[in-house]
Amino acid sequence: MRQRAVFNTNKKKMSKNTLSAQFRRVDVDALDEDNFKEPDIESSSASGNKAEALKIILQNPPLSNSRDVKSQVFAAVLKILMSHKSADIDNSIRGLSEHEVDTLVKYIYRGFAEAKDSSCGPLLAWHEKAVAVGGLGSIVRTLTSLKTV
């Protein structure tokens, strides 16, 4: 007895959506570490507008996994934080959005992790003011975030 091969005669066409590019919502080129452009904070900080320099650098933190790029941006953020006077911290933080405050808290925690003796006091002052503006939610969002700075 011979067995017959059974083929599906109801050929269905592939979905039309497979040819669509609408599902591609992530710009992978933006995640490439070679395309990261460091914000122009030198001109803002040189002109004395440290709050504007802080806002610029917190708007676009590096998303790549390159430790070199992240270290360069961290050094710039730390330089800006240390150059602030304690009386100006409140005004600088109040001008930040919620996302920028969360990013600032990430940089503060990284500063605690890589602490030097001279940076602990100012970082504690920044942390106090950032939590006063962002609330405990900024701490929780920072600790549960998968993106590091």
Of 143 and 31, more confident = 143
Phi-psi map region of 116: left, alpha, beta (phi>0 left; psi -120 to 50 alpha)? beta
Asked if residue 136 has pLDDT above 70, the reply is yes
Tell me what the mean pLDDT of segment 84-88 comes to. 91
User: How confident is the model at residue 2, as a pLDDT?
Assistant: 63
Residue 125 and residue 107 in contact, taking contact as beta carbons nearer than 8 Å = no
Residue of 26, 32, 58 whose CA lies nearest to 149: 58
pLDDT band at 12 (very low <50, low <70, confident <90, very high): low
User: How confident is the model at residue 64, as a pLDDT?
Assistant: 74
Per-position DSSP letters for 94-119, written without gaps between them:
HTS-HHHHHHHHHHHHHHHHT--TTT
Tell me what the mean pLDDT of segment 118-130 comes to. 93
The pLDDT tens digits for 90-112 are 999 999 999 999 999 999 999 99
The pLDDT tens digits for 32-83 are 655 555 555 555 555 568 899 999 999 988 877 788 889 999 999 999 999 9
pLDDT above 90 as % of the chain: 52
